[in-house]
Structure 1
Amino acid sequence: GPLGSAKTRSIKSHEDLKQGEIVDGIVKNVNDKGIFVYLSRKVEAFVPVSKLSDSYLKEWKKFYKPMQYVLGKVVTCDEDSRISLTLRESEINGDLKVLKTYSDIKAGDVFEGTIKSVTDFGVFVKLDNTVNVTGLAHITEIADKKPEDLSALFGVGDRVKAIVLKTNPEKKQISLSLKASHFSKEAELASTTTTTTTVDQLEKEDEDEVMADAGFNDSDSESDIGDQNTEVADRKPETSSDGLSLSAGFDWTASILDQAQEEEESDQDQEDFTENKKHKHKRRKENVVQDKTIDINTRAPESVADFERLLIGNPNSSVVWMNYMAFQLQLSEIEKARELAERALKTINFREEAEKLNIWIAMLNLENTFGTEETLEEVFSRACQYMDSYTIHTKLLGIYEISEKFDKAAELFKATAKKFGGEKVSIWVSWGDFLISHNEEQEARTILGNALKALPKRNHIEVVRKFAQLEFAKGDPERGRSLFEGLVADAPKRIDLWNVYVDQEVKAKDKKKVEDLFERIITKKITRKQAKFFFNKWLQFEESEGDEKTIEYVKAKATEYVASHESQKADE
């Protein structure tokens, strides 16, 4: 309201704000961790995902757009670069739930918590109402009589009550005790009177758990402002949204997994018009990678120790290694990210080719973004020695294209085609695609000529067909037609070529041309099964066009075809 806006105008720094104060602001931008809000021309604040709404919004990004007005309450305001707000109505109208960090916790504090992991020497407990603070209850502090086997007593997710023995905020370490003797009679009395609140808290935590499972971790979002390296925090907030410090997070890994997946897709062109079996297999493979990522993401590690613990259990998981690298990059620790990649290559079992490939792709991405031409060249040539050289060439080409280094891509296309052009159809096709996408159609046609010189005769039909499809999709359909016409003239018996040709015409949406093509196909010498296939396809096309007259015509043609073939059989 007007009160809020009056406040807005006078905010020159964090000193003009108090915790719990209501302020209004304008959304500056949105990233994976939350939203940035202008409180005034000079001051901005961050709202982590967990503080956006009381209800759980899965597609929360849809609700916030730059320049949108929001009303919030101040959660932290110790420094200009660490102002955070909540937009949750329950907190704006009620009390702030300020989550404690390592530095807020003192010896003697009592917490409820959840077992995060069980080891031989003790259990790690995630403490409630904290920014993902985890403490260790040593085996000697579990019960008055030291237990034999902890894993028989505790499972991950069990609820426990713990008292803090000592804290070391610098190292983010907290020692806990679960011994009943610590909770004296007074403590017991106190806790019985507060049972009502703990039930509420439990419900609140359940909601938090749901959030955490969805990958919405308080920790992620809050620690982004809270305990990031000072070096990152001291930079102007601008950099926090530039894709390095904040969003280098998880996306980095996901995009590398996408890059790794590409080649399975590149060869799934329908060679045949029966159901494509490769499809199903590929889907399954994708899901496996997906599941792994989700599994690791729900436990969102947020310290070096967390990652090191995760690696003990998952030494071959490129996903864990890449997230760990991303975590270091978030702190601008580029050298540490490089060391991790080297460690990953030494650690991952030699049989795990795909996992190793992910790490090499991550290294190429890393050097392309943060390194120099020399460091990139060095990683590239090593990668070519250890992995399939052609695969590495294509990966780097993809990275150049994504990062819009088109000159570099053009050079590398030349080198790759020179090296592998005699055996690989796909390099010529991607080069043609690259050129047509950058409006260099003439160049692309020259490349097709070069491809035909370089490739053995048996690959000619395939490369021409793929260039023809490219022309239809991105270049000049007329040019695509003449390439297909050349193909069907040279190899009239290749029914699959006619099929792909028809598909391109259907996509190009020229009804007359589609119909002419079907007419030509059904008068060819084809088997009954093929005829049935093309009649069906033609019928579907006319139905999608809603052309009743032609639908009747196609049906009549089909009946006639069957009849004439029956009589031929009889004659024979």
Structure 2
Amino acid sequence: VGTKVRCRILSVKDDGKIDIGLAKKYFPEDDAVAEEVEDEEEDSDDEDVEMEEEIPETSDAPSPSVEESEEDEEEDDAVEDVSEEGEDEGEVGQFGFAEAEKFAEEEEDDEDDDAEEKEEEAESGSPSAAPAHDAMEDSDVSEDEEEQKAGSGKKSARQKARERREQEKETREVELANASGDWKRNPRGPDDFERLVLMSCSASSSTSDMPSASEVWIQYMGYWMQMAEVQRARECAERGIKQRLGFRDEQDRLNLWIAYLNLEAHICVEGGRKKEALKRVENLFKRAASYNDAKKVHMAMCDVWSRAGADDLALEAYKRTAEKFGHSKKVWMKYLEFLYSTGKLSEARQNCLPRALRLTDKRKHSLIATRAAKLEYKYGTVERGKTIFESLLASQPKRLDIWSVYLDEHINANKEDADAVRSVFDRAVTLKLKPAKMKFFFKRWVNFEQSYGDEEHLDLVKEKAREYVMALEKSRRADDI
């Protein structure tokens, strides 16, 4: 009692009693809801009356408006009196809200009826009893469709929230990477690479945490290539080769030039070896040769074309390098290896090897010939390789290094033919060499028999070694006398 309430007079009866309602539908907030309420009121059996309708003249009780009922305490008392009269006859409930309670009960009954209908539909297997998760999926799909339809329009709150969460996640990952120093070992973007570049400029040498300047630039180039940003990779390489600080030595700087050459050669070959691309590679090669050791750049260019799969261009590069640096044994040895590995055996045997022996210094011939013999064992024929080794040892029988290479190659090529290897050992132990060198041959022979021979031949080798030791001691005693 004494609490102000907002109600609406629904009807006034002949005997002076009134019905009031407190439900929300009696207080519409906009025109649309008001129209719906008015339609419902018109369809009813004239039990409800519009707010604007006047009270019949036969009514003894006044018909105050809603505002007046809220402001005028005397009219509130009149409403309470009417409610008390309703209690006596059982038509108005407690506090005079009979119609409100009736309306609430009707709504509860409707909800119970709806629930029973849904249960019956679910039991009967009707389409309306679909699983709840299907409805959820449909709602998700509809929401996604609405977001897609929005297109270029304003982003929905859901999209903004998702983007905000993703951005926060990326920020946390960056912060964790910075705190742990992982960005140094595994840079993930331009920002990390730029920081590494700045640090490499001030670093005098590479460490486990800080790579060399060339490694940083090469990784940076590789990052742009993975992103299919060829032009940015070129710009990155240009920045690196123009940098003056941070490189440990000339070889470190050369590594970056070679990586740049590899980049352009790869693009050239993948793009069909167009004239413009070939010209770009040639111009870059000339620049590299002018800023670095020319011989190293020429040899690197040969490897670049070979790795790119352009054997014809690699062959031209080797020819040009051999003409310019014909006195270098390294050039000829790499040239021979390229020819043998690509199956150009006749070119290697008839042209390259004779020219190499003719143009290089005589003291380098044994190294070049030894390399040619090894390549014959690997790519050519065993007999040709053996012939080259035998000719070398005929003039230099005491060269233990040549003997060692010869035995290694001959054993690898004749693992199934032990007698072919034993013949080489037999000839080696008959040489008049120093005891230390003879010990080397006997030891190698014993190891061979243990790995590929048998007990009988192993005992024969040990017997030969004992005989050699006894003969050596006998000669020493004779010298003492």
TM-score by structure 2 length? 0.58
Matched, 1:355 2:252: yes
1:388-434: CA deviation from partner (whole Å, max 9, x where unpaired)? 11111222211211221011011111111111121x21221222222
Q: 1:554 to 1:110 in 2, by over 3 A?
A: closer
- Hey, what does 2:266 align to over in structure 1? 369
Measure how far apart 1:496 and its partner are. 2.0
> Which structure is higher in helix share?
2
State the AA in 2 paired with 1:331: M
1:77-113: CA deviation from partner (whole Å, max 9, x where unpaired)? x9xxxxxxxxxxxxxxxxxxxxxx9994439x996x8
Measure how far apart 1:346 and its partner are. 2.5
**Secondary structure in 2 matching 1:156:** helix
- Hey, what does 1:429 align to over in structure 2? 333
State the AA in 2 paired with 1:562: V
Q: 1:110 to 1:421 in 2, by over 3 A?
A: closer
Q: Structure 2: any 5+ residue segments left out of the alignment?
A: 1-136, 142-147, 149-158, 202-211, 269-276
Contact 2:213 2:247 in 1 (8 A): no
Q: 1:104 to 1:397 in 2, by over 3 A?
A: farther
- Hey, what does 2:448 align to over in structure 1? 541
1:157-214: CA deviation from partner (whole Å, max 9, x where unpaired)? 49xxxxxxxxxxxxxxxxxxxxxxxxxxxxxxxxxxxxxxxxxxxxxxxxxxxxxx8x
Identical counterparts, % of pairs: 35
Matched, 1:393 2:298: yes
> Take 2:167 and 2:258, find their aligned partners in 1: how far apart are those partners?
46
Contact 1:344 1:359 in 2 (8 A): yes
Contact 1:468 1:484 in 2 (8 A): yes
> Take 1:531 and 1:469, find their aligned partners in 2: how far apart are those partners?
24
Measure how far apart 1:513 and its partner are. 2.0
- Hey, what does 1:489 align to over in structure 2? 394
Cα RMSD (Å): 3.1
**Secondary structure in 1 matching 2:179:** coil
Query: What stretches of structure 1 move > 6 A for 4+ residues in a row?
Result: none
> Take 1:429 and 1:468, find their aligned partners in 2: how far apart are those partners?
11
1:312-349: CA deviation from partner (whole Å, max 9, x where unpaired)? 22235222211211122223322221121121122243
Q: 1:326 to 1:350 in 2, by over 3 A?
A: closer
Contact 2:184 2:192 in 1 (8 A): no
Q: 1:155 to 1:502 in 2, by over 3 A?
A: closer
1:528 aligned to 424, 432, 435, which one? 435
- Hey, what does 1:439 align to over in structure 2? 343
1:150-161 equivalences in 2 (<5 Å): 156-157=179-180
**Secondary structure in 2 matching 1:314:** helix
Q: 1:155 to 1:378 in 2, by over 3 A?
A: closer
> Take 1:502 and 1:106, find their aligned partners in 2: how far apart are those partners?
70
1:560 aligned to 453, 462, 467, which one? 467
Measure how far apart 1:126 and its partner are. 4.4
TM-score by structure 1 length? 0.49
- Hey, what does 1:314 align to over in structure 2? 200
> Take 1:466 and 1:524, find their aligned partners in 2: how far apart are those partners?
24
Q: Structure 1: any 5+ residue segments left out of the alignment?
A: 1-16, 22-77, 79-100, 114-124, 137-153, 159-212, 214-294
Q: 1:569 to 1:327 in 2, by over 3 A?
A: same
Larger relative contact order (Cα-Cα within 8 Å, sequence gap ≥ 6): 1
Equivalenced residues, count:
305
> Take 2:321 and 2:167, find their aligned partners in 1: how far apart are those partners?
63
Measure how far apart 1:135 and its partner are. 6.6
> Take 1:560 and 1:392, find their aligned partners in 2: how far apart are those partners?
56
Q: 1:135 to 1:570 in 2, by over 3 A?
A: closer
**Secondary structure in 2 matching 1:390:** helix
Contact 1:296 1:320 in 2 (8 A): no
Q: 1:343 to 1:562 in 2, by over 3 A?
A: same
- Hey, what does 2:426 align to over in structure 1? 519
> Take 1:309 and 1:466, find their aligned partners in 2: how far apart are those partners?
46
> Take 1:539 and 1:379, find their aligned partners in 2: how far apart are those partners?
56
1:230-309 equivalences in 2 (<5 Å): 296-297=184-185, 299-301=186-188, 303-309=189-195
Contact 1:468 1:479 in 2 (8 A): yes
Q: 1:404 to 1:517 in 2, by over 3 A?
A: same
> Take 1:411 and 1:513, find their aligned partners in 2: how far apart are those partners?
40
State the AA in 2 paired with 1:484: F
Contact 1:325 1:340 in 2 (8 A): yes
- Hey, what does 1:339 align to over in structure 2? 235
State the AA in 1 paired with 2:477: A
> Take 1:378 and 1:368, find their aligned partners in 2: how far apart are those partners?
12
Measure how far apart 1:155 and its partner are. 8.6
> Take 2:323 and 2:387, find their aligned partners in 1: how far apart are those partners?
27
1:26-61: CA deviation from partner (whole Å, max 9, x where unpaired)? xxxxxxxxxxxxxxxxxxxxxxxxxxxxxxxxxxxx
**Secondary structure in 2 matching 1:493:** coil
> Take 1:415 and 1:421, find their aligned partners in 2: how far apart are those partners?
10
**Secondary structure in 2 matching 1:369:** helix
Contact 1:325 1:341 in 2 (8 A): yes
Q: 1:561 to 1:366 in 2, by over 3 A?
A: same
> Take 1:534 and 1:552, find their aligned partners in 2: how far apart are those partners?
16
> Take 2:167 and 2:196, find their aligned partners in 1: how far apart are those partners?
28
